[in-house]
Structure 1
Amino acid sequence: MADTKYLQKKGNTWRVVVEIPKPLRPALEGKPRFIKSLGTESLTDANRLKHQHVAEFKRRIKLAEKGQADPRAAAMQAAFAFREAFASADNDYLEHGDQESTAASELLAVVNREAEALLETEGPEAARLFRSLATGKATLIRDQYPTWLTICNGTEQTKAQHKSTIKRYLAWAGEYMSIQGTDRRKAGEYVQLLRDDGLSSKTIQRHLSTLASLWSWLMSKGLTDPSERDNPWRGHGVGKRSSGSKRKAVRKGLTNDKLLKLLKGRYKTPRYANVLSDLTRLALLHGTRLDELCALKKADVEKLKDGYWFSITEGKTEAAIRQIPVHTLAVPIIQRRLAGADEYLFAGLVPGGPDLKRSWNVSKAYGRFRKQVGVSAPFEDFHALRKTFADLMESLEVPESTVQLIIGHERGFTYGVYSTGQRMNLRKVIEKVDYGPDVMKALASP
């Protein structure tokens, strides 16, 4: 049986948990337990990493039993106090009998004595950190990354991923890890840990991209070691695939058998049953994204002489903003959803996620639904419906530039600059949609 003593899993990540005896909790900030994320999904690595933290937590509990303060935490607080003192110290001479010194040199002497005492009790790493923090030669990562998160580009969801990535590194490197203490060797050790945890190359590359972007900003602010001119998070060769490695899976269009499972299936709860049924049909008939459909308002739907059209008013790129004719089979869905007082075509969706997207919870429900009906392979998600539509357009020999206009992709230079597609009969193209008699019959029967 795997050893999980002092370990607890939160989400996919293991963490150390050491309970604090009730009588000692007031002396330890009222905490019921010590918790430390290990930043790993591997139980083997968690067992390897836990011991130092368990020992540290037990040390603090032992000190509390003796009524003593934690010397390491107190030392770090003292280091910050020394830093403030250095910032205010001038070079005026101080007289000590027949000796003279500057205020700064006096402070440095005290810092060195404190560091030597810490060396004996807590070890060399704690002593080095104390000295560098106290003298202002070290800047903590934890003090800088929140500012970067406020100014970096990206959605709130992307920024949440950045924050999680940085916190994972600090969970491994330590709360007091400094910018200067993160060199290429340290970065390489962390990359190896991510590999050992079994993360895919793509995921590791995403982690490194976040840390490299943070470091570029730190370098531009002059906060890194001047002798370190290279970004320590770049050039680790993670994205390179060895000749013998398997080619990664890619998203493909769905087969008709799987389309029929989705179209004939019914989600198990009424909250999303009709929503998923309608969204699946609209995506297959128009190649639209889930975000776009969930954000549609009734004001975005217009009835013209040739039938209904809906307008996508925002998206990932400028090309995503477009007008699409509604397929004949989708008209009953549109008419039914136009009824009622809600401003959105899909009423009652609860926004979720960092960006409060109306599609957030729908996406999760669709993931459960497709597995429920047996469409459970990787990349057979809602976006696969869009890929299925694009594949159909190709099989019908619809020009690529026309398909890009419908699904909201960037078009080539000639089409993008010299043509807006306004003279093109998009309705004729949309009405070409034909997945075969069985699928078309299922599409017409929501």
Structure 2
Amino acid sequence: MDRKYLVKQYNTYSVVVEVPKALQAKAGRKRFKKSLGTDSLAEANRRKHFHVANFHRQIAEWAKGGGDSDAKLARLAAEFRQALESSDKRWHEDEQEHEWSEYEEELDRLKAQAVVIQNSDGSEAAARFFNAATGQATFLKDQYPMWLAEVQHAGQTKGQHESTIKRFMGWATDSVTIEEVSRKKAGAYVTDLLASSGLAHATARRHVSSLSSLWLWLVGRGVAQENPWRGQQLGKKQEPAERKGLPSKALLKLLSGTYSTPKFAQVLSDLLRLALLHGARLEELCALKRADIHKRDDGYWMAITSGKTRAAKREIPVHPLAVGIIERRCADKDEYLFVGLDPGGPDNKRSWYVSKAYGRFREQVEVAGDKEDFHALRNTFITCMEGRGVLESTVKLLVGHSRKGSITYGHYSKGESVPLRNAIEQLDYGAEVMKAIASP
């Protein structure tokens, strides 16, 4: 098992990234270290990638010289704040009967330093420094990591959140304080996102949503007084293209095509057919293990043991046209049904590289529309089942959608007695497509 970037102390793994010697003075440290909160090596390996990527980004920023002045002022403000908080506020009288206090002397030093900063970096930087040093302001960079640690989002989403926050800090300054982000300043940033960032409207909207979520957390923690991002308008929203079921022409192109790279050729062929026959998500299929496949009196069944929601955990009958794929892959004797898939991405998903390969495969067979991705196969399955008259509540059991919207079927019944095999055997994309599925 890989132990790179990992150390274990007191039965808990931490991720450690060394700072290059030439950058240690600028960084003010020799290494990054973050507890991963687990004694499992496998889990530590899954969790470490997010932090390793962040640490390397910071090292790269120091290597480029970015944020050096801001970081210096932030460190200086922290030193003054610590000195003020530890200073004695009692007044004393010296031999000349002059009154003095340790706190007031430290405050005078701080005011003098603020003047120096104002002369060199401007009044905004000086005010930010003074407010942070006196505890009247809080640096955003000191707060957002705690939010990221608390939010219950996947690693990829957390990575997007962090990228969004760092982009804002790059615009406002790395030492921006929470208190100085007014509605006016937030509005100016939104204008910049729309006018000059080059970001798509949907991406800009996601950026504002991330920042708004962070500020809601800050308000809840008593660090911020209001959320300046709430109500920021992004202009007329362009309606995104809808993902629909793929037509027979596109399905035949996919089913008759062969991916150019041998490593993924058979994998994509099998995954494509399993998705069309069961409506399963890509990661659900890539994560299947031989132990998840079992045979009942009526044929093979597969257990989906994890997914995006609680409803995603389910058992579904294997379609007759998929039996050959299942038996061939179970004969391999590997733990996983799909052997040799390297996990990747922020969430260490087994589908990470497969998804990218499928995107290239779609281009090769000219099914490369924006909404014609692997997830469109799920839409195709659901559309077909609806056309065959299968009850929506039954389709939800097959594809792992919640039935909570129905009091009768969602609350009082969990679907144990629904004849799922009868339902899935009603699947029919037409003779030509079904023949292509049966002939991988």
Tell me how far 1:204 sits from its aligned partner.
2.5
Look up the match of 1:114. 113
Look up the match of 1:199. 199
CA distance in 2, matches of 1:256, 1:288: 19
CA distance in 1, matches of 2:202, 2:345: 22
2:289 pairs, out of 283, 297, 309, with 297
Look up the match of 1:87. 85
Which is worse superposed, 337-346 or 315-324? 315-324
Look up the match of 2:36. none
Look up the match of 1:35. none
TM-score by length of 1: 0.80
Q: How does 1:66-85 map to 2 (within 5 A)?
A: 76-85=74-83
Tell me if 1:348 matches 2:348: no
Residues 197-239 of structure 1 show CA distances to partners (whole Å, capped at 9, x for unaligned) of 2433432232222222222222222222xxx4x311111133x
In structure 2, relative to structure 1, the CA distance for the partners of 1:346 and 1:302 (3 Å cut) is same
CA distance in 1, matches of 2:311, 2:116: 64
1:337 pairs, out of 305, 321, 329, with 329
> Contact 1:72–1:122 (CA<8 Å) still a contact in 2?
no
Q: How does 1:325-404 map to 2 (within 5 A)?
A: 325-404=317-396
- Tell me the SS of whatever aligns to 1:128: helix
CA distance in 2, matches of 1:423, 1:71: 67
> Contact 1:294–1:358 (CA<8 Å) still a contact in 2?
yes
Residues 158-189 of structure 1 show CA distances to partners (whole Å, capped at 9, x for unaligned) of 22222111111111111111111211111111
Q: How does 1:108-147 map to 2 (within 5 A)?
A: 108-147=107-146
1:320 pairs, out of 312, 317, 324, with 312
Tell me how far 1:344 sits from its aligned partner.
0.8
2:229 pairs, out of 227, 233, 239, with 233
Tell me how far 1:423 sits from its aligned partner.
2.2
Tell me how far 1:349 sits from its aligned partner.
0.7
Percent identity, aligned pairs only?
52
- Tell me the SS of whatever aligns to 1:91: coil
TM-score by length of 2: 0.81
1:433 pairs, out of 423, 427, 435, with 427
> Contact 1:366–1:382 (CA<8 Å) still a contact in 2?
yes
CA distance in 2, matches of 1:408, 1:205: 29
In structure 2, relative to structure 1, the CA distance for the partners of 1:79 and 1:341 (3 Å cut) is same
Tell me how far 1:103 sits from its aligned partner.
2.2
In structure 2, relative to structure 1, the CA distance for the partners of 1:338 and 1:57 (3 Å cut) is closer
Look up the match of 1:415. 409
Q: How does 1:159-198 map to 2 (within 5 A)?
A: 159-196=158-195, 197-198=197-198
- Tell me the SS of whatever aligns to 1:310: strand
Look up the match of 1:16. none
CA RMSD, aligned part only?
2.5
Q: Which 5+ residue runs of structure 2 have no aligned equivalent?
A: 1-21, 28-63
- Tell me the SS of whatever aligns to 2:427: coil
Q: How many residues align?
A: 380
1:306 pairs, out of 298, 309, 315, with 298
In structure 2, relative to structure 1, the CA distance for the partners of 1:176 and 1:392 (3 Å cut) is same
CA distance in 1, matches of 2:322, 2:313: 20
In structure 2, relative to structure 1, the CA distance for the partners of 1:72 and 1:143 (3 Å cut) is closer
> Contact 1:296–1:344 (CA<8 Å) still a contact in 2?
yes
CA distance in 1, matches of 2:74, 2:86: 19
CA distance in 1, matches of 2:295, 2:214: 49
- Tell me the SS of whatever aligns to 1:267: coil
> Contact 2:294–2:301 (CA<8 Å) still a contact in 1?
yes
- Tell me the SS of whatever aligns to 1:250: coil
* AA of the residue aligned to 2:232: H
CA distance in 1, matches of 2:377, 2:115: 65
CA distance in 2, matches of 1:198, 1:73: 28
> Contact 2:71–2:175 (CA<8 Å) still a contact in 1?
no
Q: Which 5+ residue runs of structure 1 have no aligned equivalent?
A: 1-24, 31-55, 61-69
Tell me how far 1:442 sits from its aligned partner.
0.8
